[in-house]
C-alpha cells in the first residue's frame, strides 16, 4: 500500500491555519459569481481555471458590467503579475523537476502556498520541496473550490454582517508577520504598505499599484540591508 509523504502532510498542516481566511474569501467569490448571473457550474469552472481570488472577483465584476473580453483578461493578468516574482523566487528550488511537475507547481502557485513553502525551505534543507509545496497548494485549492461552490449555492443568503470582506487582509497579515525578522524586512513592509495604500501612487491605472508597491518595497529593503539593516 503506497504511503503518503510526511512532507506532503506537513504542507497540508502548514496551510491549515490559512484556510480560516481562504474559506470566507471563497464564499465571497461564489456569491459574487451567481450575483453576476453565472450558474453554480460556471462558478466552479471559473474558479478551477482561474484559481486566483483577487483577479477572480475583478473579472466577475467586469463580466457583470459587460466589459470587453480583452479588458477582463488584461485586468486579471495585471493583478496576477506579482506571481511572476513568486515564480522567479521559488524556481531555483524546482530546477530539477520534470516539465509536468513544474506545470502543476505553476498552477498551484498562490500567495499562501508560496509563503509557507519558502519559509520551510529556508529552515529545512532536507524537505522534499515539491511534496511539501503540493501539500500546501493542493489543500488550498480544494478548500477554495469547495467554498466557491458553497458560496454559489448560498448566493445572497450569507449575512453581510459576518464581515467576509476582512478575510483576505487577515490571511495576508498572517503570512506577513512571521517574515518581519530584521530592519530590512520591516522597511520593505512599511514602504510597500504605504505605497500600496495609495499614499504615493494614488491614481495609478490598471491596478498597477500592487506591482509598483512590491518593487518599491523590495528596493527599500535592499537599501536598508546595504546599510546594515540586519541589526
Query: What are the pLDDT digits (tens) for 43-79?
Result: 888 888 888 877 888 788 777 778 788 878 887 887 7
Question: Within a domain: residue 99?
Answer: yes
Joined together, the cell numbers standing for residue 82 give 506579482
Shared domain check, 84 and 194: no
How many angstroms separate the CA atoms of 92 and 209, rounded? 28
Residue pointed to by grid coordinates 467569490? 29
Alpha helices by DSSP H, 16-161: 19-35, 40-50, 53-64, 69-79, 82-90, 99-107, 111-123, 129-154
Torsional sign, CA 177, 178, 183, 188: negative
- Whole-number pLDDT of residue 15: 92
Of the candidates 138, 163, 188, which is a domain's last residue? Answer: 163
Question: Within a domain: residue 168?
Answer: no
Buried b (16+ CB within 10 A) or exposed e, 163-199: ebeebbeebeeebeeeeeeebbbbbbbebbebbbeee
Of the candidates 109, 131, 163, which is a domain's last residue? Answer: 163
Shared domain check, 146 and 60: yes
Residue pointed to by grid coordinates 461552490? 149
Shared domain check, 159 and 90: yes
Up-side HSE of residue 161: CA atoms within 13 Å toward CB?
A: 0
Question: Within a domain: residue 127?
Answer: yes
Query: Can you list the positions of beta strands (E) in the chain?
Result: none
Question: Within a domain: residue 76?
Answer: yes
Question: What is the mean predicted confidence (pLDDT) over 130-159?
Answer: 87
Shared domain check, 81 and 151: yes
Residue 107 Cα distances to 170, 177, 203, angstroms: 23, 26, 31
Shared domain check, 102 and 150: yes
User: In the structure, what pLDDT confidence band is assigned to residue 189 with cuts at 50, 70 and 90?
Assistant: confident
Shared domain check, 143 and 62: yes
What is the residue range of 197's domain? 179-230
- Tell me: pLDDT of 99 over 90: yes
Shared domain check, 193 and 126: no
pLDDT tens figures, 195-216: 777 655 566 665 566 667 778 8
* Count: domains in the chain: 2
- Whole-number pLDDT of residue 1: 42
Of the candidates 134, 163, 192, which is a domain's last residue? Answer: 163
Shared domain check, 118 and 80: yes
- Whole-number pLDDT of residue 27: 84
pLDDT tens figures, 8-25: 999 999 999 888 878 888
User: In the structure, what pLDDT confidence band is assigned to residue 38 with cuts at 50, 70 and 90?
Assistant: confident
- Tell me: pLDDT of 105 over 90: yes
pTM tops 0.85, yes or no: no
- Whole-number pLDDT of residue 57: 80
Amino acid at each position: 500500500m503506497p504511503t503518503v509523504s510526511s512532507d506532503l502532510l506537513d504542507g497540508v498542516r502548514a496551510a491549515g491555519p490559512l484556510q480560516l481566511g481562504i474559506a470566507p474569501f471563497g464564499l465571497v467569490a461564489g456569491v459574487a459569481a451567481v450575483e453576476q448571473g453565472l450558474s453554480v457550474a460556471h462558478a466552479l469552472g471559473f474558479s478551477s481555471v482561474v484559481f486566483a481570488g483577487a483577479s477572480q472577483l475583478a473579472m466577475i465584476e467586469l463580466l457583470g458590467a459587460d466589459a470587453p473580453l480583452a479588458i477582463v483578461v488584461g485586468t486579471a493578468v495585471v493583478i496576477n503579475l506579482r506571481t511572476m516574482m513568486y515564480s522567479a523566487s521559488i524556481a531555483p528550488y524546482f530546477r530539477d523537476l520534470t516539465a509536468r511537475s513544474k506545470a502543476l507547481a505553476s498552477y498551484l502557485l498562490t500567495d499562501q502556498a508560496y509563503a509557507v513553502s519558502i519559509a520551510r525551505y529556508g529552515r529545512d534543507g532536507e524537505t522534499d520541496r515539491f511534496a511539501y509545496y503540493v501539500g500546501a497548494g493542493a489543500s488550498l485549492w480544494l478548500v477554495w473550490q469547495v467554498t466557491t461552490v458553497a458560496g454559489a449555492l448560498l448566493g445572497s443568503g450569507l449575512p453581510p454582517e459576518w464581515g467576509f470582506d476582512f478575510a483576505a487582509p487577515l490571511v495576508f497579515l498572517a503570512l506577513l508577520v512571521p517574515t518581519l525578522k530584521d530592519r530590512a524586512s520591516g522597511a520593505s513592509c512599511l514602504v510597500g504598505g504605504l505605497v500600496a495604500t495609495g499614499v504615493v501612487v494614488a491614481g495609478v491605472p490598471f491596478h498597477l499599484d500592487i506591482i509598483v508597491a512590491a518593487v518599491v518595497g523590495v528596493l527599500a529593503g535592499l537599501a536598508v540591508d546595504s546599510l546594515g539593516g540586519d541589526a
